[in-house]
Structure 1
């Protein structure tokens, strides 16, 4: 019905324009804006895209990477899930997104509900140590998402006294809800007073403890350690009073039975052990898993316990006999964490590998719900119209994703190793991809079919670029110093250029006559694409250059290293200025279509936005917990779209920009006078507001969108 309504509007509009001339042209533009808005509203029917957005963001696609933490609320109505962008709250029955708690500056790894269900605790960090800072534990109001407290290193403990909290892998509340225990990657298990937020003590500072659990009376805390043991601590004194030995490899998960008489543990030796806590001895050794057991859990009635791991299977066992009751097998990747619902009727499981949360019926073993959207993204590239994003998602595949409807259009399969680079042709009809399999592949975007494979590279292809006229494709490898120039229509190699450096970034000049490369030797080189002659060499800063880009008018070159963005005169090679910042490690750098603004990733997280003319930092877009892998300005220069390794965000830059290009006559307000001025310049080169090279109805549409500002 909505589609038919739009078609009817378009028919009426086309008739009106035909008969009514210039006046109707303005009306046409305004209604086009209305239709675009309706289309956007309808396309984004999914509520999650506007939950918990960072400041300045309009919407988000993708829910962040799953890191294993999952917990049922005590009343069984909600599930808290740890992700790289915050704590998601889901309806435990339908899987519907309810809320997103944000505030951590690192990915969330662990979550826990207090026994009364009023508080959610979350622990952050980067699980495999890629970006180490002192991470934190946050306490949230479970109903409202209000941030109640942050538990960090006490000020009386000097920085040099201990390694620091680092990655908070596991959290557990005591049965009375007054104490929170945390296990971190520095080998420490800490106790926190929930009422005061104060740090009580460290129970262990040695072998890494991957899992912790309180006994029924709250007097004992157990921890499964990577030295193959299970430690028992007296919570009151903080002292270890017993060590359980039985596993032949690292212990990864522990859980008490509801009556506290039995402990179940799982580990890297592929076994599940049942322990008698009275005698502190192994009661049963259960086998069947074919890989590491990542998680174990007891049902609330104590009659069943579950185990899951890297073999992608969940096993349900009878607690009394140790007999295998059922095997649940729907995950397509390793399972990180499992949790029973408070009534024991359901089980939740998470998988970092297959990017899903699955809810199961424990009686029948049937999967009831699958929660998706927790992507792990690789390299990304936006189509020229910014409506489609290509994502290196699965190890050897590429997704084409519709940004407007939040749906996958196609999966492109053909590479035999990880995809490392992506770029669309200027007309958006072709996608080029580079890979660790040493090839460049050209895909038909409309059909998803492979057109041609380019196979001259001797190592991983890390950089590819189309010339603006679409007639040349450039590619280069990780360690190879050569750049290959290809005819994308035929797949034939036109020429080879030697950069004398490796790990390069590529860009073409706007007129397609020069190709630019920069890399490990901190030099920027420009070649004539027709003759292959090196005509310009710019000596950059001493550090390796991660990314380069031409301004839209071709007069300025931007290069990025870890210290900021350097601006150079493209004709003379003279250094103009440096926009200082802790810029990122990935080859992405973007100019706005009018050349007035440049965007670059901030190392670790965030996006820098600089005014090129004033050389001022306009803002840092924060709230993302993964470094941007792709950046692109919308044609109106007021919006930026970014893709990181967990999600895609559309940002509204208007509040941060110093100029108002829509106020064409500079009278302080966007009004009918600006519309009249733009309409009078149709066919001219200025004021070209969308950067397409000519003043036309699209520029008029942009002005109309900002009337009254």
Structure 2
């Protein structure tokens, strides 16, 4: 009998404990040469636009390479692949978004498929365009071929005669719907429904105006024939109106509850609504007599957040706070009572949190839901079983829609992101079915030429990666559990015979036998240079071998079976996954291994581990269905960076166990697979699912990336027994320019003016090349909310912020090359300024004062390594804004009363007494580099310029009606900029005043909220920190 093998061990471990973001839509069947030619012409037009926008040639290189691959595929008449490559190429082209004002020269982190605030609703047009309605009061229509916005409707932004605008309408544009003919869009906001043109974004008419009510409209829906529009809202009334005239056809009695969602039945005769009193109701708008056909509880508690009819035009789907979706039997299609009306037919259980929205495919066979747990889940209506789950949102998923052909789902979240997922049953791949029994291991050769697969049938099969042709079959003599290539010809294999063997593939013979284990060898790994082979066994030992000599060079004993091993690129560290869920890091650079760290990584066995190519991160998966990515410290300590919990099983009781994990060559993506037969590719930077590769029919046991990252190979067991080679679409297609997933809070420019750093609430800092707009680096490992960032020289950064879980803060110091970080505990940090010599930096830190209503503030000076040099306190007042002079000699702070204090930081004392600058609180302030001028703004939007030495105001001006959000002074002392609360940016002169008034030199009104800004060192440009995760480069006169 074969001893317990690696994949069998995975199964036992699991049992022993109690879209992808679409940058390319799936090609239509029978895609022809003409389709490729047409899309290629579109690409060329968009490329010319990028050149015209002065994007450098190297920013176009990736797109050009993909187009080259498309041309090669087309020459071979593989038009399906050619279409995919052209579509991916379009996503890689840089662009300036539409709707930007003049003098925006670059956008860092282009915001494809993203609003600046929560997305409330999604809708597909009949021809597959996607519209989204947002809290930012805009409605956007997207080109799903490249992620760019086609049209932005701003009619609700400036909506007049709307009492809800300044009071009850907290959701902006609440809903959107395409007319069934696709020629008109309806959208709702406040007390109005607008009709507008989907290609021009121009208002056609205000279809419905509810007058002086302060109860906003929440939901709208067209009838299938487009003649009627159902409208529901906070006024408790369902209305059905003619879609061309707005004439009222039906008006319900008050439901005494807010109407959350409305929907028409497929036959157009019925309208369903869900309210915030847990009820779902069905009306017959054109019926006679009692037009209320059914009213019944739709959820167990709270409001009904989603409602849709089943294909029978009677039964109704609902979802809400009770963490599930429900199908309830309704009236017959004409609205008459049926025998089982109001009977609960089925529940769809699996979400962990409220289910916020649902949608049904046109054929009624598939239900899609989204929820608080940030997932999108797909269900079989007939059985109630979960078919799949998509994880891609950083925050709760709010809206979902299904394309008319049922092949694509769109979802949107609270952070403004829109994602698109492919519902195809399988993804394009080559299936190699030579094995007749379970496959448990797969490996790709370092030169990318070969793929090896092995498993229960005691054979090792070697295929050409490019052709998928079986080149060799080797009799291994025992069932094989693990494979790893040493080079293009030598393969290490292990299994049930307790021996690790090094094979010469060309000769089909064993070069060395690496002996020592007393039970089955469950896992092997090798260093990239091929000089070290590491094996783990059911005998609880981990052994290191020199493959050339066959000698054992070290041994380490684990607590339980060693199920997984990985070797870092330098060969000095080994990670071990243990059957009890443990994860250990060993130092193997000496004569004997030394345990550096051990922790409990998984609750059901750590089944596979993998180092990132740079060795700074470690991925682990387990029988608990979780993927965890760890940062690996220089001392071997592990800190969790990301955790992805796998989808629940079809029974909805637990996450499907995972058995394999692999890093992509670029280190950004990680592939996992296991019991649910889906290979998932995760984006570590965006913390989301990038692809879900389907094709296997049973447990996927092992995966590997090709060295060029363009293919992924996977094998499966039991009923599948197949090696599949997936050609990967461009993984970063939907984030080609990089970009944050959440709002940018702070921005800084390097002293040489070449780099920009953005710090966002997605817990990353990104570094950009300001000339090209390309992302240079992403710094992860910080879990704080950032408030300030500054370069320390050109190759280091300091970020200050707040620790979310407690009332304190930290400074994070980052070296860019190589990337490493240090954290320094302090108070909440709101301002960081680096001295011009980069030897020191200053930080304004605020700490909670015990027993006091105000916070204790301190102006702290650190050396470049984070050592505290001095701290000057400012106690007893609520400081609203503070900064440092560029030489760090002074700190200047304004409080809520409009009083300013100036501190000499070398002496640790105040300079002069309190200076009453404003009668109201400070909004922000700055000081020129020569310390001569103070520039300040109050909370009402007034700015003042003052002579610091004389403490005399020399100019003032009302800056913004909506108030000043931030103020930044140029390092040259010639200009300053102010940011308003209504998306307006103004640049002002510091060298010219007119009648003691500040002179405006340029202004911008941008489509997103601006959280902060920084000047370039030459004072000629300003870089903004944007709420949609981007940054603008603004050109000054």
TM-score, normalised relative to structure 2: 0.31
Based on CA coordinates, which of the two structures has the bigger radius of gyration?
2
